[in-house]
Amino acid sequence: MRMPRARLRAAAPEHPEHPHRHPRAARAARLAAVVVVALLGGWLGLVLAGSVSLPVGPVHARLSAAPSLSGGTVVRIPPLGAIALDTNDGPLEVRVDVTSIDPVAARRILDDPGLLSGLPRQVSRDTRQAVGRVLAVGTVAAMGGAFVLGLVVFRRLRTALLSTTIVAGLVAGTLTSAALTLQKGALREPRYSGLLASAPSLIGNAEDIAGDFTAYGDQLARLVGNVSRLYAATSDLPLLPAADTDTRVLLVSDIHLNPAAWPVIRSTVAQYGIDLVVDAGDLTDHGSRLEDGFAAPISTLGVPYVFVKGNHDSAATVRAVRREEGAVVLDGAGVQVVDGIRFLGSPDPRFTPDKETAGTDAQGTALVQAQGQALAATARASDPHPDVVVVHDPTAGAELAGAVPLVLSGHTHKRDVRQLDGGTTLFTEGSTGGAGLRGLDHDSPTPVELSVLYLDKRTHALTAWDDVTLGGLGLASANVERHVVRPASTPPAGSGAAGGPGARSRRLAPTS
């Protein structure tokens, strides 16, 4: 007996994969695919084109917005570190990367400290405009990314427009969520990372900042303003004559193979408008041929580099320095480098890279004293007389009392300025490399020290100097002191004037 055909059809099971049997599931799957493509396209749009680079006061910053579960604002200030602020809950994070300082604007602030009073207002205005622009650019970039990727994947204009609409709705919801969860007092509890973690005072008193401003844009602006004040801190130093009346000499010493010293030197050369660099020796640690390449950054500084060999430098080190463009190696003869300033110097007579080759202290002292006496004789016999003598060990420098106006040295890893008989100033620099690995041998890190010397272009006499001191390994401190020379009545040979540390000296601290 056969069943009717209609019953057979009714009894037959539906095919589970037939495309027309589950239209709702198919539509849901397609919509899910569109959402995924829209999100991916929006994210790609933000990454590729969602940032803007704009000036914020004297600072150049790159601002961007990105999806985030936690939200907030991150301000990155290389090389100091970063600051995280709980300005809002997710899903939007604003990122501000300080990329550079406008040298022209910074110089104006240095020349006219009164400009600082209007800086927060200017930064506030610039920041509001920048935040508005980055949100607009980010929105367009996200929607554009969703449209392009939707068109590429689905090849249908209607579906691409749907992807764009999804992202537009998501952006609107994100901005609404950020606005509703905005924490205007977020600067009361900043989280520091990098070097800033141990020196939050560099950014100023966050609670005071938050109390001064009520809007998020103004808070962020004040934060950037404080960073600008930090970079322009030298405006509080005693004023010097116009820049065209002095020659600016950067004194470094005892770098001891620390590569971190070169960025510090390069930055100081640029910020101070340095005319030449003087290195009082111990560029390397052991003077080996493997260390010869460490001298390569000398040619990138863009100014003359006057060098004397230290007791840790070898003859190979001297040759490596001499090969670099702009390097001038002092070897017992006088030379003129810039602005007619006459330099004299000679290499340290010792080569003691380790304890096995050190010899006795008495032998070393005798050799160094003899070096100083020979330089003093050369200086007195020279016509014209040298203006500056460079040695590595201040023991040699002490032998030049009355022979020259200024002696520069290093070796001790500790800055010291002394007045010798006859009106000679003996200036001993600390370690610009934080004494290299030797900086770890002590209970506290050896600070990074370098100094900017101001020499009168007419008399070549020392008129002032800035001591720049940075925290050693693991520290994040920065200090600048200016010393103005008090004219003396009896200048030594070879100079129209001389002097000692004057009454004006000021230690700087970042302002809040």
H helical segments located in 50-118: 103-111
Per mean pLDDT, which of 95-104, 299-308, 430-439, 475-484 is the most reliable? Answer: 299-308
Question: What is the model's pLDDT at position 289?
Answer: 86
Q: What H or E segment, with its residue span, contains residue 395?
A: helix 394-397
57 Cβ contact list (under 8 Å, min separation 6): 105, 119, 122, 123, 126, 224, 225, 228
Mean pLDDT, to the nearest integer, of 166-173?
87
* Both structure tokens of 438: 């030797």
The rounded distance, in Å, linking the Cα atoms of 342 and 114 is 38
Of 353, 351, 337, nearest to 387 (Cα)? 337
Q: Contact, 40 vs 138, CB < 8 A? A: no
* Both structure tokens of 159: 């579906």
202 has pLDDT over 60: no
The pLDDT tens digits of the residues spanning 331-381 come to 999 999 999 999 999 999 999 886 555 556 888 899 999 999 999 999 999
The rounded distance, in Å, linking the Cα atoms of 72 and 460 is 55
CA-based R_g, the chain, Å:
33
Question: What is the model's pLDDT at position 208?
Answer: 40
pTM of the model: 0.55
**Annotated domain spans of the chain:** 27-233, 241-507
The rounded distance, in Å, linking the Cα atoms of 351 and 345 is 17
174 has pLDDT over 90: no
Q: What H or E segment, with its residue span, contains residue 389?
A: strand 388-390
CA dihedral 458, 462, 463, 468 (to 10 degrees): 130
CA angle, 42 then 43 then 46, to 5°: 90
Q: Looking at the domain 241-507, which fold is it? A: Purple Acid Phosphatase; chain A, domain 2 (3.60.21)
Mean pLDDT, to the nearest integer, of 472-488?
65
Tell how strand 81-85 and strand 72-77 pair up.
antiparallel
Lowest mean pLDDT segment, chosen from 39-43, 278-282, 415-419, 439-443: 439-443
* Both structure tokens of 318: 């001297």
The rounded distance, in Å, linking the Cα atoms of 215 and 219 is 6
Q: Contact, 280 vs 410, CB < 8 A? A: yes
The pLDDT tens digits of the residues spanning 24-38 come to 888 888 888 888 998
Residue with tokens 């040979």: 493
Tell me 491's DSSP state. -
The rounded distance, in Å, linking the Cα atoms of 158 and 314 is 75
Decide which of 432 and 354 is more confident.
432
Q: Contact, 372 vs 400, CB < 8 A? A: yes
The rounded distance, in Å, linking the Cα atoms of 335 and 126 is 50
Question: What is the model's pLDDT at position 506?
Answer: 33
